């Protein structure tokens, strides 16, 4: 009898909570600090949506700086990337709930960088399968992963706090992975180490939408530290755009022109890489190489403070390679 009453009470409470989530009044009784940043889904095709993080530093806008996507089918939702705090992911979930009550079945993670992953626990706790690129385990098992989370618990408090945790994937992808959900065909394409230790894209066949993660940055300086710039440029150069009608980058607006969308990131990578390669080859010290380059195209863009770090990272990598030859 007692158990029945408890069960009934729990049932009523759950119904109330779900009603709150569906009504958009989601902050009642949740474990996550509320967030006040504006977030509106943009529909790019029949099933495919994304939310766009504003350009800023990792701690501006309560940690909202990267994009996340979601694909709505009759049988459930596939999410692409989970944003930089559990609070943001919970807000994303409430936006998904305004469109569908179907469960979030899978989360495809483009790569394990702080601005895309601290929201994962929200979806994991709902039972979603977390799908990561091969290579992400290098990051997850590194001291950097723990150190970065600790740093964000301070710089993004209270949105990232002691309850925020690193989520281990349920599955690593090291070869193309196809699946169907609700009559929609998905392809997860692993890219090896390009922008990070491991990267992957998600193609939604019926929608002709490609979610590319941080292979493409729009409207801000790309983050190059930790990348393999040569592989990154090669992937952009060989990207087969024939069946892509919409491309959703990891940062910045979606585009209906894949070639145009990747042009800025590719040009920037070439600018940094080719000039640093030239300097290393001619034994020009970094400071001199950096100072004599014309940065005028890039120095006024959001995240321009990354220019020097990007160039230094590429310079050191090329220098190490040249010494090793
Ligand atoms: Zn990012």
Distance in Å, CA 93 to ligand 1 centroid: 19
Please indicate, yes or no, whether residues 7 and 97 belong to a single structural domain of this protein: no
Q: How high does pLDDT run on average in the chain?
A: 91
Tally of CA atoms within 13 A in the half-sphere of 202 that contains its CB: 32
- CA 23, 24, 29 angle in degrees (round to 5)? 95
Please indicate, yes or no, whether residues 23 and 53 belong to a single structural domain of this protein: no
In a domain, 248, yes or no: yes
Please indicate, yes or no, whether residues 22 and 161 belong to a single structural domain of this protein: no
pLDDT range class, residue 18, cuts 50, 70, 90: very low
Please indicate, yes or no, whether residues 25 and 48 belong to a single structural domain of this protein: no
Looking at residue 56, what is its pLDDT? 81
Return the CATH number at 227: 3.60.15.10
**Average pLDDT estimate for 105-111:** 98
Distance in Å, CA 194 to ligand 1 centroid: 13
In a domain, 275, yes or no: no
Please indicate, yes or no, whether residues 23 and 166 belong to a single structural domain of this protein: no
Please indicate, yes or no, whether residues 66 and 145 belong to a single structural domain of this protein: yes
The count of domains in the chain is 2
Please indicate, yes or no, whether residues 215 and 111 belong to a single structural domain of this protein: yes
- For the whole model, what pTM was predicted? 0.89
Distance in Å, CA 253 to ligand 1 centroid: 13
Instruction: Answer positive or negative: Cα dihedral of 131, 137, 139, 142.
Output: positive
How large a percentage of the chain has pLDDT more than 90? Answer: 84
Distance in Å, CA 12 to ligand 1 centroid: 40
Please indicate, yes or no, whether residues 73 and 200 belong to a single structural domain of this protein: yes
Residue 126 contacts by C-beta under 8 Å, 6 or more apart in sequence? 93, 103, 104
Q: Is the pLDDT of residue 7 over 90?
A: no
Distance in Å, CA 78 to ligand 1 centroid: 19
Residues with CB under 5 A from ligand 1 (ion): 66, 115, 214, 250
Distance in Å, CA 227 to ligand 1 centroid: 12
Please indicate, yes or no, whether residues 10 and 155 belong to a single structural domain of this protein: no
Distance in Å, CA 179 to ligand 1 centroid: 25
Domain end call among 224, 239, 258: 258
Please indicate, yes or no, whether residues 92 and 193 belong to a single structural domain of this protein: yes
In a domain, 110, yes or no: yes
How buried is 84 (Cβ within 10 angstroms: 0-12 exposed, 13-18 middle, 19+ buried)? buried
pLDDT range class, residue 17, cuts 50, 70, 90: very low
**Which of 43, 1, 10, 69 has the alpha carbon at shortest distance from 249?**
69
**62 vs 27 pLDDT, higher one:** 62
Distance in Å, CA 198 to ligand 1 centroid: 13
Residue 228: C-alpha distances to residues 80, 166, 231, 265 (Å): 22, 24, 6, 14
Task: Quote the domain boundaries for residue 100.
Answer: 31-258
Residue 162 contacts by C-beta under 8 Å, 6 or more apart in sequence? 153
pLDDT range class, residue 277, cuts 50, 70, 90: very high
Distance in Å, CA 111 to ligand 1 centroid: 8
Distance in Å, CA 283 to ligand 1 centroid: 32
Q: Is the pLDDT of residue 315 over 60?
A: yes
Within the chain, what is the greatest distance between any pair of CA atoms? Answer: 83
In a domain, 269, yes or no: no
Cis before residue 282, ω within 30 degrees of 0? no
Please indicate, yes or no, whether residues 41 and 121 belong to a single structural domain of this protein: yes
Looking at residue 325, what is its pLDDT? 61
**Which of 102, 109, 49 has the alpha carbon at shortest distance from 84?**
109
Distance in Å, CA 4 to ligand 1 centroid: 48
Distance in Å, CA 66 to ligand 1 centroid: 5
Condensed to tens digits (0 to 9), the pLDDT of residues 203-237 reads 999 999 999 999 999 889 999 999 999 999 999 99
Please indicate, yes or no, whether residues 151 and 110 belong to a single structural domain of this protein: yes
Q: Is the pLDDT of residue 12 over 60?
A: no
**Average pLDDT estimate for 35-64:** 94
Question: What is the DSSP annotation of 70-133?
Answer: EEE-SS-EEEE---SSHHHHHHHHHHHHTT--S-EEEEE-S---HHHHTTHHHHHTTTPEEEEE
**Average pLDDT estimate for 148-158:** 96
């Amino acid at each position: 009898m007692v158990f029945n009453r408890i069960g009934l009470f729990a049932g009523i409470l759950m119904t109330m909570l779900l009603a709150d989530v569906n009504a958009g009044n989601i902050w009642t009784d949740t474990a996550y600090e509320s967030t006040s940043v504006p977030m509106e889904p943009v529909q790019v095709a029949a099933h495919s949506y994304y939310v766009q993080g504003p350009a800023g530093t990792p701690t501006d806008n309560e940690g909202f700086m990267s994009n996340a996507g979601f694909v709505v089918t009759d049988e459930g939702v596939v999410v692409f990337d989970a944003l930089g705090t559990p609070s943001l992911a919970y807000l994303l979930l409430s936006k998904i709930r305004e469109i569908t009550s179907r469960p979030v079945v899978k989360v495809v993670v483009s790569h394990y960088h702080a601005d895309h992953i601290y929201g994962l626990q929200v979806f994991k706790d709902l039972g979603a399968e977390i799908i990561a690129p091969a290579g992400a385990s290098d990051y997850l098992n590194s001291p950097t992963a723990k150190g970065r989370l600790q740093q964000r618990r301070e710089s993004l408090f209270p949105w990232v706090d002691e309850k925020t945790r690193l989520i281990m994937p349920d599955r690593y992808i090291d070869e193309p992975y196809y699946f169907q959900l609700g009559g929609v065909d998905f392809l997860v394409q692993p890219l090896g180490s390009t922008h990070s230790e491991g990267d992957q894209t998600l193609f939604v066949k019926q929608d002709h939408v490609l979610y590319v993660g941080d292979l493409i940055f729009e409207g801000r300086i790309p983050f190059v530290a930790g990348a393999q710039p040569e592989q990154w440029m090669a992937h952009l150069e060989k990207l087969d755009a024939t069946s892509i009608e919409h491309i959703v980058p990891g940062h910045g607006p979606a585009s209906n022109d894949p070639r145009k969308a990747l042009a800025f990131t590719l040009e920037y990578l070439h600018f940094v890489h080719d000039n640093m390669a030239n300097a290393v080859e001619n034994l020009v010290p970094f400071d001199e190489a950096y100072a004599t380059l014309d940065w005028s195209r890039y120095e006024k863009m959001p995240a321009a403070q990354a220019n020097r770090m990007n160039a230094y990272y590429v310079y050191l990598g090329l220098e190490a390679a040249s010494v090793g030859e």
